[in-house]
A and B are shown apart, each in its own frame.
Chain A
């Protein structure tokens, strides 16, 4: 053999960003970056916004200019500042409503799936009823009935969205409770509460997170819908509220929609898409069967995830 110079593999100068392993993971990262940007904007709104969104800082109905990048609204408030502050309200309501819905949904789903029997039947029929109700009309009725403020908005949204996570988690718990270590813990005398907290809940936690993201996504959309209909809290202007005023004060009749409606609408859409990306990526992680797929289809962003795994009834163990 002739002597050959063995060249050492070239060192990478910069630490490489860990490679995404699937399309879903890439989407998830994109979504996280976008959402991160919006969260930063929301948190630092007082620093970033050029004006106080509640103050009259110019003439009404101004077109975009150097001093008002997105113009002014009907009472001379800066629209850009309104947009930036709106992120706070929209995201906060989204997160809070999702959190509440997931806490309730997880509780119901886990208890139902783990204990089964009559408890399961009763809880799941209640879930079915909630799922079957057309949620926008329900939302409107509840919102009108309970009055307009942020607390009721959060409550009302979580009331209509807790049921789906409950059902999905129940399916997953049905499979988790048959896992070896849950069975083993039961055989070793673990209390049901202990089994649930210590073994079942961690086993389904990836799904809980994925469901939280999905719920936040829906919550933000619902909040925008409610506010657009004028049923939100008018003292805390969210993106939906901005759209409500834009529509009510004739933005659609003039060219004002270009700077009043479009940026706000885009903000909502982009946040929702970011959430959908993250949610898809998390669901892919929670369910390896989805990993095989190359690219998500549109149905997967909006469709129900199929994570249900029920044990075959009547299966005989040796």
Chain B
């Protein structure tokens, strides 16, 4: 079981030192991704999704700091690597589709150049060859041939996102970390990008970590879904189960907040309260102040993850044996 796991994150904690104290952006997060599996990470802004992704690649900069945990990738502990050699992993074996693809492209580099640069950063190939691979890669993600020399400002949002995806795929990574790849795109383009990603995943057998605040977008593409709140994992399980039979009150609230096409019309739900600041160490469950089913125990004891079904876990006192 463990041997097939491509990525194994164990007890990851990342903090940010601020003037007001230490913010636990990610606290004791553990998960794994099998080869060829897509894991969706969901949660609202500030819940630590991006910090998890950045921590994997050790891209956390001061005042941020990874304080605990380990990341095993392909059997190798990435946190044991020398800092200088991390560069060889980034964009090669683990590729990132960064947040806000709109801004992820250098305005002075054409689409083909951007992709070629990623190849050249890791492969010792002639520039010409890199450009040629870049151009076929761009076409495979749906950029028409006459557009591959275009500059970012000449491309639409969807096209730019495709270019960024092509950049991520440039070196045949075994894992792609896609941080909010469809955020900021209109729904039609979102659907196109999502289907491109799931298509690529089938074609290339990619393992993917798909980060989004849109639980429905995530569930469409993921095998498993992990829900985060306040820097912790609150629920994890097979995508269909998490979406159709959510166990954690936070996941339930998140799903209820999504308007549906079918079903009765009514007010859009929202979860009362605001995301916790992550300042200081909360003794109990981070969701307790907003939780509709909060009990006395919730504010005192942090709930550990328990199994609530086949490969489905939730960190909630409701499911105490």
Contact = CB atoms under 8 A, between A and B. Distances in A.
* A, B: real partners: yes
Nearest to A192: B87
A293 B105 CA distance: 30
Nearest to B98: A184
A185 B117 contact: yes
Interface in B59-89: 59, 63-64, 87-89
Contact of A198 (B47, B50, B88, B109): B109
Contacts of A186: 59, 90
B48 interface: yes
A316 B18 CA distance: 8
B233 interface: no
A219 to B, nearest CB: 29
Given A185-B117, A189-B121, A198-B117, A313 B63 contact: yes
B23 A316 contact: yes
Contact of A199 (B16, B63, B87, B106): B106
B49 A181 contact: no
A189 B103 contact: no
A189 B90 contact: yes
Contact of B121 (A190, A313, A317): A190
A47 interface: no
Interface string B120-148: 01100000000000000000000000000
Contacts of B167: 184, 188
Contacts of A202: 106, 108
B18 to A, nearest CB: 4
Contacts of B87: 189-191
B102 A189 contact: no
B100 to A, nearest CB: 6
Contacts of B255: none
A194 B121 CA distance: 8
A191 B106 CA distance: 16
A250 to B, nearest CB: 57
Nearest to B152: A181
Nearest to A187: B96
Interface residues of B, number: 45
Contacts of B100: 180
Nearest to B106: A181
Contacts of B122: 189
Nearest to A186: B59
Most buried by A among B25, B90, B95: B90
A314 interface: yes
Interface residues of A, number: 23
A181 B16 CA distance: 23
B315 interface: no
Contacts of B91: 187-190
A183 B48 contact: no
B48 to A, nearest CB: 7
B63 A188 contact: no
Nearest to A200: B106
B51 interface: yes
B22 to A, nearest CB: 11
A184 B51 CA distance: 15
B103 A318 contact: no
B158 to A, nearest CB: 17
A314 B121 contact: no
A317 B88 contact: no
Contact of B57 (A185, A187, A198, A317): A187
A249 interface: no
Contacts of A187: 57, 59, 90-91, 96, 98
Most buried by A among B20, B108, B278: B108
Interface string A73-90: 000000000000000000
Interface in A190-212: 190-191, 194, 198-199, 202-203
B225 interface: no
A318 B45 contact: yes
A179 interface: yes
B46 interface: yes
B63 A314 contact: yes
Contacts of A188: 90-91, 95-96, 118, 121, 167-168
23 contacts: A180-B103, A180-B104, A181-B105, A181-B107, A183-B104, A184-B98, A184-B104, A184-B167, A187-B57, A187-B90, A188-B90, A188-B96, A190-B121, A191-B87, A194-B121, A198-B117, A313-B19, A314-B17, A316-B25, A316-B46, A318-B46, A318-B49, A318-B50
Interface of A: 179-191, 194, 198-199, 202-203, 313-314, 316-318
User: Which are the 9 A-B pairs with shortest beta-carbon distances?
Assistant: A180-B103, A188-B91, A189-B91, A189-B90, A184-B104, A314-B18, A181-B106, A187-B96, A184-B98
